[in-house]
Chains A and B, each alone.
Chain A
Amino acid sequence: MPTDLNKTQILENLEVLSEWLSVKYPDETFELVVVGGAAMALDEFKDQTRDIDLLLPEILPAALKEGIAHVSRAKRLPPEWINTNAANILKKLKPTKGLPEYFNEISRTIDIGDNLKITLIGRRALIGMKLLASTPSYTKHTDDIRSLNPGKEEIEEAVRFVLSIDNNELRKEDLRIVLKAIGFDFDKFTGKNRN
C-alpha cells in the first residue's frame, strides 16, 4: 500500500473520487477545503504527503465518506487518505477568540470535476496550522514550515494563533525550540527575555 502521495497522485485520486461521486450521486456537488501537507504539495512547497487533511467540511457527508472508502479500496490507499483530523483538532482546541479572519483566505481553487472542487487554504492559515502541529521531537512539520519560507510577520501571526489556543509553558518551550530551528527567536515575538 503506497504511503506517500505526490501532487499528480493527489490529483489523480481526487479525480477518481469525483468520478465515483458523479456516478453514485449525480445530482450533488462537493467542495473540500484542504489544509496541511496536501495543500503544500498541490502548491509545490513539498514533494509528497501522506494524506489529505480537510478543514471543511468538518463532518464528512455520508456520500463523501462512502466515496473515500471506495476509492481507498480501489486505489489501495489508507482508509483515511482524506480525513478531517485537522478540522477535529481545531474544533477540540477551540481558539479563545475563534479562528483568525485569515482562515477564510484561500490560496486557490482547483476544479477536479464538475461535481468536486477543492480549495487550498491561504498561506497564513497554513503556516499557523503547521506551527500548531510542530513539536521539537517530530520534525516533519518544522521541515514543512521551513519549506514555506515564512517571513517574520507571518511567523509572528502564527505564534499569536498558536498561543491563542494553547499558551501553557510547555507549549511555549516547544515553540521556542521549533522557532529556533527555523531561524526565529520566540522571545522576540512575545517581547519577553528568558533571563
Chain B
Amino acid sequence: MINLPEKIETRARFMIRSAWVTMGIPFDVPMVNEKREGIIDVEALFMATFLFMGQDRMVTDLPAWIIRFKDIINHQKLKSMFKSCPEKNKRTIYKNLNHDPFGATPGSFKRVFGLKSLPSREMIQTIERRSSKLNSLDHVAQTSIMLKNRLLYGTGFRADLITITQIKNIKMNGKQLATLLCTADSTISRILNDLRSCKFLDQDNERIGLANSYPGMFISTQTILNLYEIIDAEEFRSEELKRDAYKNISFKNDRFCMQLLSSFASRL
C-alpha cells in the first residue's frame, strides 16, 4: 500500500495520464511533449502507472492499449523491471492489477505479473469500446520516439538503445546504459559494438550527425527507482532518514520526479 501525501499522489497520477496521452490514450490532460520534456520509456511508464493506479478510467483504457499495442511492448524489459522491484511495491502493483479488465490483456503481458483472472464478457465489450477511442499507431509513432524506433527496428533493446542515443550529450557508458534500459551489460555491449562498427555511434557512444535530438528522459528506470525512494521516504518517521532518502534521488534521466517534487520543494 502506497502511503504518500495526497498532493504528491494526485500530481503523480496527473503526470502519468499526460504521458499516456503521448502514447495515444485520450485523457483530458495535456500530453507530454518529448521534444521539450524528454523521452518516455514505455515500460517504465507502465511501472509508474501500476504503482499509482486508482479506480479511474486508466483501469479500462490501459488494458485496451496493451491489447492494441502488444507487439511494441518490450515484455522482457517489463519483466526485469518487475523482478527488480522491492517486494512491498510488487504487492502494491499486483493488487492494483488485480482488476477484472487486466484479465483481458494478452497472455504475454499477464505472465509478466502472474495474472490469472479471466474477464467477463461485459468487461471485454467495455474494453473494446475504449479501444476505439485510442489514437492510431500512425499517430502514436509521431509522438513517442521509443515506439517509433520499435516500429523501425523491432521491439527489442537495439531499438531502445537507438532511442536513448537520440538524447543530446548523453555521456553514458555501456554499464549505465544497461542500467537505464534494465537489461544485461552484455546485451548493451554487443549492440554498442554493432552500432560503433557501422559508424552509427562514435567511440563515446554519441550519435554521429545527430540532427533530431531530445533533451533527456521524461520517464525511465531512474524514475521508478526514484519513486520507490519517495514512497519509502514518506514512510519514515525520522526526519533524518527522510532527508537522506530524498538526497538519494537522482534527476538525471528523470524529469518526471523533478517535476513531481518541484511542487514540494521543501522535500528536496
Binding site for B on A (CB under 8 A): 16, 19-20, 23-24, 26-27, 70-71, 73-75
Contact of B236 among A19, A26, A27, A73 (CB under 8 A): A19
Q: Which residue of A lies closest to B233 (CB)?
A: A23
3 A-B pairs with the lowest CB-CB distances in the bound complex, closest first: A74-B244, A74-B240, A23-B235
Task: Report whether B244 and A23 are in contact in the complex, using a CB–CB cutoff of 8 Å.
Answer: no
Task: Report whether B241 and A74 are in contact in the complex, using a CB–CB cutoff of 8 Å.
Answer: yes
Q: Give the residue among A16, A74, A75 with the most B Cβ atoms within 10 A.
A: A74
Across-interface contacts of B88 in A (CB, < 8 A): 26-27
Q: Give the residue among B87, B243, B244 with the most A Cβ atoms within 10 A.
A: B244
Task: Report whether B232 and A16 are in contact in the complex, using a CB–CB cutoff of 8 Å.
Answer: no
Across-interface contacts of A70 in B (CB, < 8 A): 241, 244
| Closest Cβ–Cβ distance, residue B235 to chain A (whole Å) | 5
A19-B238 CB under 8 A given contacts A26-B88, A27-B87: yes
Whether a CB of chain A sits under 8 angstroms from the CB of B5 is no
Across-interface contacts of B236 in A (CB, < 8 A): 19-20, 23
Q: Which residue of B lies closest to A76 (CB)?
A: B240
Across-interface contacts of A71 in B (CB, < 8 A): 241
A94–B110 CA distance with the chains assembled, in angstroms: 54
Q: Which residue of B lies closest to A28 (CB)?
A: B87
A156–B244 CA distance with the chains assembled, in angstroms: 48
Other A-B pairs, 13, CB within 8 Å; known A24-B86, A71-B241: A16-B238, A16-B240, A16-B241, A19-B238, A19-B241, A23-B232, A23-B241, A24-B232, A27-B88, A70-B241, A73-B247, A74-B238, A74-B241
* A–B Cβ pairs within 8 angstroms, 8 of them: A16-B240, A19-B237, A19-B238, A23-B236, A26-B88, A70-B241, A73-B244, A74-B241
- A-B interface contact total, Cβ < 8 Å: 30
Q: Which residue of B lies closest to A69 (CB)?
A: B244
Across-interface contacts of B247 in A (CB, < 8 A): 73
| Closest Cβ–Cβ distance, residue A81 to chain B (whole Å) | 14
A26–B231 CA distance with the chains assembled, in angstroms: 13
Q: Which residue of B lies closest to A22 (CB)?
A: B235
| Closest Cβ–Cβ distance, residue A30 to chain B (whole Å) | 16
Across-interface contacts of B232 in A (CB, < 8 A): 23-24
Q: Which residue of A lies closest to B247 (CB)?
A: A73
A74-B237 CB under 8 A given contacts A26-B88, A27-B87: no
Task: Report whether B87 and A20 are in contact in the complex, using a CB–CB cutoff of 8 Å.
Answer: no
Across-interface contacts of A74 in B (CB, < 8 A): 238, 240-241, 243-244
A180–B232 CA distance with the chains assembled, in angstroms: 54
A152–B247 CA distance with the chains assembled, in angstroms: 54
Task: Report whether B240 and A75 are in contact in the complex, using a CB–CB cutoff of 8 Å.
Answer: yes
Q: Mark B76-92, 1 if CB is under 8 A from A, else 0.
A: 00000000001110000
Q: Which residue of A lies closest to B237 (CB)?
A: A19
Q: Which residue of B lies closest to A24 (CB)?
A: B232
A20–B243 CA distance with the chains assembled, in angstroms: 12
A75–B238 CA distance with the chains assembled, in angstroms: 10
Across-interface contacts of A16 in B (CB, < 8 A): 238, 240-241
Across-interface contacts of B237 in A (CB, < 8 A): 19
A80–B258 CA distance with the chains assembled, in angstroms: 33
| Closest Cβ–Cβ distance, residue A74 to chain B (whole Å) | 4
Q: Which residue of A lies closest to B244 (CB)?
A: A74
Across-interface contacts of B240 in A (CB, < 8 A): 16, 74-75
A75–B243 CA distance with the chains assembled, in angstroms: 10
Across-interface contacts of B235 in A (CB, < 8 A): 23
| Closest Cβ–Cβ distance, residue B117 to chain A (whole Å) | 25
| Closest Cβ–Cβ distance, residue A29 to chain B (whole Å) | 14
Across-interface contacts of A73 in B (CB, < 8 A): 244, 247
Across-interface contacts of A24 in B (CB, < 8 A): 86, 232
Across-interface contacts of B238 in A (CB, < 8 A): 16, 19, 74
